[in-house]
Amino acid sequence: MSAFFERFFGDFLQSREYQEITLSNPLDMHLHLRQGAMLESVLPFSARDFALGVVMPNLNPPIMTTALALQYRDEIVRLSKGLDFVPFMTLYLHENLDKGELTHAYAQGIRILKLYPRGATTGSENGVREVVSERILEILHVAQDLGFMLSIHGESNGYCMDREFEFLEVYEFLARTFPRLKIIIEHVSDRRSLESLERYENLYATITLHHILLSLDDVLGNLMHPDLFCKPMIKTPKDRDSLLACALSAHPKVSFGSDSAPHLQSKKYSASAPGGIFSAPIALSMLASVFAYHNKLENLQAFVSDNAYKNYELDSVLGDTHKVIKFCAQSWEIPQSIACENSAISVLFGGKQCVFGRISK
């Protein structure tokens, strides 16, 4: 564990006095909720802390039609009843999407298309073979006219540590070709992506908790931790620090997206571990802790809500939702895992003390 972490979970979290923190409508702009038993296990953590979550469509089968998205949305609404949580649905972009389906999706309130390059990550088997191809550009043209946003898992199929960087030329090409399409660089992991944000007005980004706190050293610098393995891979300390600085400054084009991505320990602790970090149970309290540690609490509301509210035009979606989440100094031990099916899901930073705790309503 890096020196930063020793300090963070050591002195700081044990000794400081905290002021109370109040957040209004926290938003998780990148969230994997899964389906079936796993959905039931993980959903309460996000629904309790966040007013809205952008729900990823990489299920099995993927959410490739409006009908599937609406069915999935209904299921989430049913399971989160009483928690004041809005699932903001995404549609899995594939080569057979046509104008009729896109028009229907938009009319039903779906605002985000999610593009996975085929083979890039979990559930991307049905993703796009060639992003810059006639068919995909046609679809994006229609999407732009209808008013969709485009969310991208941007990785090439090159060397794993360079994949996001190599994909930047595709982001920039799309940003130039579709100037009215808002494009989101999801889960930024490489500091060079931040420079692209400055070059194109219509490029935006989400940042996770794990990419601002960890470097590859934490994943496999000593013992190997499959629970910290994710896509895009966690990179160098320099990348981590640039992303952290970007989040702490609440860059207006950047919002929080946890990319909380649960996998059963039975899969994670096997010879072929899937990428994904389950952070939903701690995401908001850890963010509060990190911003407090760096004396930047005044920027947390923008990072975790206001920026997204504006950039994703959420006023009509959230209506008069007013979810107020308060934290105070209240030490609690992060659970190692939560039970699920016949296995368990490891929680990020399980076993450590978190000093910020939710004040229940």
Residue 230 binding target from Zn ion, ligand DOR, none, CB below 5 to 8 Å by type: ligand DOR
Cβ proximity to ligand DOR: between 55 and 250 the closer is 55
For tokens 């004396």, name the residue. Answer: 295
Over the window 114 to 133, marking each residue x when it contacts ligand DOR by CB under 6 A and - when it does not, the resulting string is -------xxx----------
* ∠ Cα 209 321 23 (to 5°): 40
Smallest separation (angstroms) from ligand DOR to the CB of 343: 15
Longest dimension (CA), the chain: 59
Give yes or no for residue 257 binding ligand DOR (CB under 6 A).
no
* Closest distance of CB 58 from Zn ion, Å: 7
- Kindly tell me which of 121 and 307 has the beta carbon lying closer to ligand DOR: 121
Binder of residue 231, out of ligand DOR, Zn ion, none (CB less than 5 to 8 A by kind): ligand DOR
Q: Which candidate in 28, 259, 315, 320 is catalytic?
A: 259
Tell me the CA distances in angstroms from 286 to 26, 163, 225, 329, one per residue in order: 13, 28, 20, 12
In whole angstroms, give the CA distance from residue 202 to residue 267: 38
Cβ-based nearer residue to ligand DOR, 26 or 275: 275
Report residue 18: phi and psi, to 5°: -115, 145
Q: How far apart are CA 7 and CA 167, in angstroms?
A: 35
Helix (H) or strand (E) holding 107: helix 99-107
Among 111, 231, 240, 253, binds ligand DOR (CB under 6 A): 231
For the bound state, the minimum distance from the C-beta of residue 234 to ligand DOR, rounded and expressed in Å, comes to: 10
Size of the site for ligand DOR (CB under 6 A): 12
Q: Is 205 helix (H, G, I), strand (E, B) or coil?
A: strand
- Distance between CA atoms of residues 159 and 235, nearest Å: 13
Q: How far is the CB of 56 from ligand DOR (least distance, A)?
A: 7
User: Which of 190, 193, 171, 187 shows the shortest CA–CA distance to 255?
Assistant: 187
Examine residue 239 and tell whether it contacts Zn ion (CB under 5 A): no
> For residues 166 and 133, what is the distance between their CA atoms, to the nearest angstrom?
17
Q: Is 28 in the site for Zn ion (CB under 5 A)?
A: no
**Residue 268 to residue 289: CA distance in whole angstroms:** 27
| Cβ–Cβ < 8 Å for 189, 235 | yes
Q: What angle do CA 174, 63, 161 make, to 5 degrees?
A: 50
Q: Does 259 bind Zn ion (CB under 5 A)?
A: yes
The region of 46-54, 94-102, 240-248, 270-278 touching ligand DOR under the rule CB under 6 A is: 270-278
Residues 74-133 that bind Zn ion (CB under 5 A): none
Helix (H, G, I), strand (E, B) or coil at 123: coil
Q: Which stretch binds Zn ion (CB under 5 A): 219-227, 256-264, 292-300, 314-322?
A: 256-264
Q: Which stretch binds Zn ion (CB under 5 A): 94-102, 133-141, 189-197, 258-266?
A: 258-266
Least distance in angstroms from the C-beta of 312 to ligand DOR: 19
Site string for ligand DOR, 19-38 (x = CB under 6 A): -------------x------
Burial environment of residue 285 by CB neighbours within 10 A (0 to 12, 13 to 18, 19 or more): buried
What residues from 314 to 343 belong to the interface with ligand DOR (CB under 6 A)? Answer: none
48 binds, among Zn ion, ligand DOR, none (CB under 5 to 8 A by kind): none
Residue 28 falls in the annotated catalytic set: no
Which whole-number Å values give the CA distances from 139 to 98, 106, 133, 287, in the listed order?
7, 14, 10, 37
Report the site for ligand DOR in 141-200 (rule: CB under 6 A).
Answer: 153
242 residue type, one letter: S
Q: How far apart are CA 331 and CA 356, in angstroms?
A: 6
Least Å distance between CB 171 and ligand DOR? 16
- Summarize as ranges the residues that interact with Zn ion (CB under 5 A): 259
- Summarize as ranges the residues that interact with ligand DOR (CB under 6 A): 32, 58, 121-123, 153, 230-231, 261, 274-276
Q: Which residues are catalytic?
A: 259
